[in-house]
Amino acid sequence: MSNVRKEPSMEAQKQMLAGYFGELARAKEERRPVVYTFVPGNLVELLAAFDVAPVYPEVNALQSAMRQRSGGFIREAERAGHSEDVCSYVKCDLGMMMKGNVGPTGEALPPPDLLLLSFTGCFTFMKWFELLREQYKCEVAMLHVPYQGAGEVTPEMRAYVVEQLEREVIPKLEKVTGKKFDPDRLREQMVRSRKAEEDLAWVFRAARQRPSPIDAYFGGVYYIGPIFTSFRGSQAACDYYAQLRAEVEERLAAKAGPITPDGPLEHEKFRLVFEGPPNWTSFRDFWKVFSDEGAVAVASTYTQVGGTYERGFRHDPERPLESLADYCLSCYTNLSLPNRAAVLADMVKGYDADGFIIHSVKSCNSFSAGQLHLLREVEKLTGVPGGFIESDLVDARYYGHANIKNRVESYLQMLAARRAGAAAPGAPALAPEEVRP
C-alpha cells in the first residue's frame, strides 16, 4: 500500500480521523457524554455546543469495510439472526458491537448516552436505533423530518422541525450533559461551518473546468469526510478545507487532473456524473475501473447526502435553528424522485458530462428505490445515456468486480462509439495501408 498516491490533504485527514477515534476512546475517562447519530441531517454544531462526542455508525461501517473487516462483522450479525437482506451498514455496526465495539482504528468505542435520530428519511435508521436502544437502554431523541414530496421546503415544514429541536432534541441534550443550551456557542460553530462549506463548494465547482482537477466521487468521498461528520464547525475543518482548496487551485492552474491511487490522471477521456453511494469493500478497485479508462467523476449525488453545498445550502449563524432544520430537510435522499432527476440533469448539463452512472446498492433503499426510473428520466431530460451498475456498501459478497468492469467498459465504449459514430454503415475503412501483424 506504500505506493498509493495521496493528496497532502488526505494525509491531514487521516491524522484528523485518528485524533477523532482517539478522543472517542477517551470520552468516558474524560466524562464526556457520547451521542450516536447518523450522517444525513446530523446536528454536529448543536452537539459541539454541548461538548458531546459524536459517533457515526455508518462511518464506522465504511471505515471497517475499507480495512476489510466488515465481512466478519456482517457474518456475526447474521449468526445472531439478522437476515441477509438487512442493510449491511446495520449488520456491520451490530456485528462490531457484538465483538466488543472496537472501532476501525482498533480503539474501543464508548457506549452512547443518547441516540439522536435527526433524519427519518431512512426508515432503517429508526430500526437500527431501536436495536441499539435495546442494547444500551439509553435516552433516544427523535427528530421527525418531513419528506420533500412536493419538491420544496415549506415554512410549515421548517417550523415543525424547529419546534422539535426546541422541545425534544435540545432538552434531551441538556439532560444528558447537564448543561444549558447556549445559542451563542451554536452560532460560533456555524460561522466556522459556513467558511468550510464555502471552500468545499468551491472545490466541487472546480470540476466544471476541463480537465477537472478533482474526482468528485471517488476523491469526493474524502473531501466530504470532515464536513459530513464530527469536524464541521471546528477550526480543524476550516484549516483542512483551506488546504484542500489551495491544492485544487494549484492543480487547476496547472491544468492537471485528479490524483488517483495510481497517480495523477493525465488524460480526461470521459466526464461522468455519479448517483448512489460507492462500494467500500473494493473501493480502490472500483475507482480503478473508471480511472483506467480515463473516466473522471465531475459531480455526484452521494457527496450531497450530508449537505447540498454545491446547490447553495449554507449554515446560517443568524438563524441557527432554522438553518439546522433546512439542513435536515435538504438531505439529498429526502428529495422526491423528480427533484433528484432534476439535480442529476443539472449536474450532467452544468458540468458538461458525457454520461452518468447509477450505482445501485442493495443495502440502501433510500438511494436505490426508483433508480431505474431515475435513469430513464435523466436520459429524457439531458439526451445523455446513463449506465447502471450494482453492488453493495460494505458487504463484499455483492461486489462482482468482473461484472462491474464489463458493464463500465461497455458503457464507456458505447459513449465513445456514439461520440465517433464509427459504427455507421458505410463508414470508411481506417487502414489505408495493408498490415500483416
Q: What is the DSSP string of 199-219?
A: HHHHHHHGGGSSS-SS-TTTT
Pairing, β 114-117 against β 139-142: parallel
Q: How far is the CB of 294 from other proteins (least distance, A)?
A: 12
HSE toward the beta carbon, residue 239, CA cutoff 13 A: 9
Q: Is 436 near other proteins (CB under 8 A)?
A: yes
Question: With respect to other proteins, which residue has the nearer C-beta, 178 or 432?
Answer: 432
Of 16-24, 60-68, 93-101, 420-428, the window that binds other proteins (rule: CB under 8 A) is 420-428
Q: How far is the CB of 421 from other proteins (least distance, A)?
A: 7
**Per-position x/- string for 369-398, each x denoting binding to other proteins as judged by CB under 8 A, each - no binding:** ---x---x--x-----x--x-x-------x
Give residue for cell 421548517.
158
Q: How far is the CB of 376 from other proteins (least distance, A)?
A: 8
Q: How far is the CB of 433 from other proteins (least distance, A)?
A: 8
The CA distance from 91 to 337, in Å, is 28
Which of residues 29, 266, 318, 434 is near other proteins by CB under 8 A?
434
Burial class (CB in 10 A: 0-12, 13-18, 19+), 153: middle
Q: How far is the CB of 400 from other proteins (least distance, A)?
A: 3
Burial class (CB in 10 A: 0-12, 13-18, 19+), 85: exposed
The CA distance from 228 to 96, in Å, is 22
Q: Is 437 near other proteins (CB under 8 A)?
A: yes
Find out whether 110 and 26 touch, Cβ atoms under 8 Å.
no
Pairing, β 386-391 against β 355-361: parallel
- Other beta carbons less than 10 A from residue 159's beta carbon: 12
Q: Is 1 near other proteins (CB under 8 A)?
A: no
Q: Is 80 near other proteins (CB under 8 A)?
A: no
Number of residues in contact with other proteins under rule CB under 8 A? 34
Q: How far is the CB of 390 from other proteins (least distance, A)?
A: 6
Name the residues that contact other proteins, by CB under 8 A. 372, 376, 379, 385, 388, 390, 398, 400, 403, 406-407, 409-411, 413-414, 417-418, 420-425, 427, 429-437
